[in-house]
């Protein structure tokens, strides 16, 4: 396996495929794909050191350096934080989750060895973003929320927007219809409501296209206030869940 020169061009690979992979270069970058059946990954041997970046490849803010045995080398800040870094605790924190993609930089690799901790989860236990999509599936995205009266995302929305992007990346044979909704309890569905719900669905489409999803796989449809979760919403909590999107797998 020859090196990818930067983290942003990291080769995307499953944890199973990475195990015992022969590496021909001094430095190699990988993106280990999210896997709902694996609760954790331990890096065991076959390298001089590894830099792990659990969130995104373009930031060092949350990176960890592992020694040749796969254990985290605690920084001074980590030690001063008051968290225990005895040998037992270091082994515990050296386990990395695959709930999200995991970026790694392997230095001095040869035959990489990983220990995978696998979970046996049934379909009912999986979160919506962990499932394999199939035609007819309908997903209500309660955490993709909008500012009242606007097609502007609330900040809480971006985690699930990015999960939706990753899910579509992993299910490239799937097309989806994105449904937009508004909060207008006790009112007839107006043209303004209809337009706003269309704009909210389209905002999701535009976000996904900007991230790299082919526009031909996406369509947008607004329902105004005809399908509110809380038809008699009175609190802001209830109102924000009426301003939502849903996904229909086609």
pLDDT in tens, the chain (250 residues): 555 567 777 888 888 888 878 888 888 888 888 887 787 899 999 999 999 987 666 555 678 899 999 999 988 877 777 777 777 788 888 998 888 888 999 999 888 899 998 765 555 667 888 777 888 999 988 889 888 889 999 998 999 999 999 889 888 889 999 999 988 888 888 999 899 999 999 999 999 999 999 999 999 999 998 988 888 888 888 887 888 899 999 9
Answer whether 0.95 is exceeded by the pTM. no
How many C-beta atoms surround the C-beta of residue 137 within 10 A?
A: 15
The three-state DSSP-derived secondary structure of the chain is CCCCCCHHHCEEECHHHHCCCECCCCEEEEEECCCCCEEEEEEEECCCEEEEECCCCCCCCCCEEECCCCCECCCHHHHHCCCCCCHHHHHHHCCECCCCCEEEEEECCCECEEEEEECCCCHHHCCHHHCCCCCCCEEEECCCCECCCCCCECHHHHHHHHHHHHHHHHCCCCCEEEEECCCCCCCCCCHHHHHHHHHHHHHHHHHHHHHCCCHHHEEEEECCCCCCCCCCCCCHHHHHHHCCEEEEEC
Beta strands at 138-141 and 64-66: parallel, antiparallel or unpaired: unpaired
Q: Where are the domains of the chain?
A: 7-118, 123-249
Q: According to CATH, what is the number of the domain 123-249?
A: 3.30.1330.60
Contact, 52 vs 10, CB < 8 A? Answer: no
């Amino acid at each position: 396996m020859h090196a990818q020169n930067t983290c942003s061009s990291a080769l995307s690979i499953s944890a199973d495929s990475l195990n015992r992979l022969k590496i021909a270069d001094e430095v190699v970058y990988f993106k280990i794909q999210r896997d709902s059946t694996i609760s954790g990954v331990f890096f065991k041997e076959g390298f001089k050191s590894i830099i792990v970046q659990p969130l995104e490849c373009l930031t060092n803010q949350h990176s960890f350096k592992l020694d040749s045995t796969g254990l985290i080398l605690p920084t001074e800040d980590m030690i001063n934080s008051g968290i225990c870094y005895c040998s037992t605790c270091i082994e515990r924190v050296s386990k990395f989750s695959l709930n999200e993609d995991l970026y790694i930089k392997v230095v001095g690799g040869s035959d990489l060895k990983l220990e995978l901790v696998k979970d046996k989860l049934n379909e009912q236990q999986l979160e919506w973003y962990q499932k394999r999509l199939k035609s007819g599936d309908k997903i209500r995205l309660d955490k993709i929320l909008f500012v009242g009266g606007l097609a502007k995302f609330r900040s809480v929305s971006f985690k699930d927007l990015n999960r939706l992007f990753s899910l579509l990346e992993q299910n490239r044979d799937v097309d989806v219809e994105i449904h937009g909704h508004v909060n207008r309890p006790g009112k007839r569905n107006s043209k303004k409501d209809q337009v706003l719900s269309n704009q909210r669905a389209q905002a999701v489409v535009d976000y996904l296209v900007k991230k790299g999803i082919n526009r031909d796989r996406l369509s947008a449809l607004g329902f105004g206030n005809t399908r509110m979760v809380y038809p008699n919403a009175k609190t802001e909590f209830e109102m924000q869940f009426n301003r939502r999107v849903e996904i229909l797998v086609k």
